[in-house]
Amino acid sequence: MHLLLVEDELEIQSFLRRSLSEAGYQVEAAGDGKTAERLAIEGGHDALIVDLGLPDQDGISLILRLRELGVNAPVLILSARRSVDDRVRGLEQGGDDYLTKPFALAELLARLRNLLKRHNPSSSNATHLRVLDLELDILRREASRGGERLNLTPQEFVLLEYLCRNAGRVVTRSMILDQVWGMRIQPDTNVVDVHIYRLRGKVDTEGYQPLIRTIRGVGYVLKDR
Ligand code: CA
């Protein structure tokens, strides 16, 4: 999971950076709104942590600007402002959760986990999907397993993306037909099975744990553990 941390107090920034890295997140940090904007537009963040009091602009203006620019990752607002008004304003204007300083690290981590759970991986905004050693770069339309690039057709990529977004859940043939091929009614066709067969030949190669499971008579599930 990639995070963008926007915090101008260097002590807090480096503390959070270290703590979040230790918790397994990859963290990019910015100390002002302008840098944050540049990093956020480059994309790939699963969540943003934004302090409201920034040196060059208000954190809320930053969030609004990012939303305008199409940055949809969930935002956890960090602020010393305690009043209910500030909190409501922050949440109304594009923040997804709010934490007042000083805060306990455990609470920040818990809120972050919830935020990410609410928005990923079913969120259609995620630009990177990861299920075990399988990785999908949605923008580049590239997939890899164990770091090795998979040579997928565009249709196979869409199918794998759909399976990844629903990892751990069974998807039926009709769901796949509807979501991947845009067919509402299940025609008399084995198009799904044929594509799953080909996809499996590329994803579940020798030496790798098989991820695509067939649930007989129902559909398929991409294993996530
Ligand atoms: Ca500040």
> Which three-class secondary structure state does DSSP give residue 49?
strand
Confidence at residue 177, expressed as pLDDT on a 0 to 100 scale: 85
Is pLDDT larger for residue 125 or for residue 204? 204
Confidence at residue 121, expressed as pLDDT on a 0 to 100 scale: 52
> Which residues, in sequence order, are bridge partners of residue 215?
219
User: Are 64 and 141 found together in one domain?
Assistant: no
User: Are 114 and 38 found together in one domain?
Assistant: yes
User: Are 151 and 190 found together in one domain?
Assistant: yes
Give me the domain span that covers residue 165. Answer: 126-222
User: Are 149 and 104 found together in one domain?
Assistant: no
User: Are 114 and 143 found together in one domain?
Assistant: no
Distance from the alpha carbon of residue 155 to the mean position of ligand 1, in angstroms: 46
Distance from the alpha carbon of residue 8 to the mean position of ligand 1, in angstroms: 5
C-alpha torsion angle, residues 173, 176, 177, 183 (rounded to 10)? 130
pLDDT tens track for 26-46: 899 999 999 999 999 887 798
Residue with tokens 């956890």: 76
- CATH of residue 175's domain is 1.10.10.10
Instruction: Specify the number of domains making up the chain.
Output: 2
Confidence at residue 102, expressed as pLDDT on a 0 to 100 scale: 87
Confidence at residue 125, expressed as pLDDT on a 0 to 100 scale: 56
Distance from the alpha carbon of residue 176 to the mean position of ligand 1, in angstroms: 47
User: Are 208 and 166 found together in one domain?
Assistant: yes
Distance from the alpha carbon of residue 80 to the mean position of ligand 1, in angstroms: 8
Distance from the alpha carbon of residue 78 to the mean position of ligand 1, in angstroms: 9
Distance from the alpha carbon of residue 46 to the mean position of ligand 1, in angstroms: 22
Q: What proportion of the chain, given as a percentage, has pLDDT over 90?
A: 48
Checking if the pLDDT of 184 tops 90, the result is no
User: Are 12 and 69 found together in one domain?
Assistant: yes
User: Are 145 and 171 found together in one domain?
Assistant: yes
pLDDT tens track for 59-71: 999 999 998 888 8
**pTM value?**
0.55
Query: Which among 57, 88, 121 is the end of a domain?
Result: 121
User: Are 92 and 131 found together in one domain?
Assistant: no
User: Are 95 and 140 found together in one domain?
Assistant: no
pLDDT tens track for 107-133: 999 899 888 877 765 545 568 889 999
User: Are 70 and 177 found together in one domain?
Assistant: no
Residues 176 and 220 sit within 8 Å (Cβ to Cβ) = yes
User: Are 137 and 52 found together in one domain?
Assistant: no
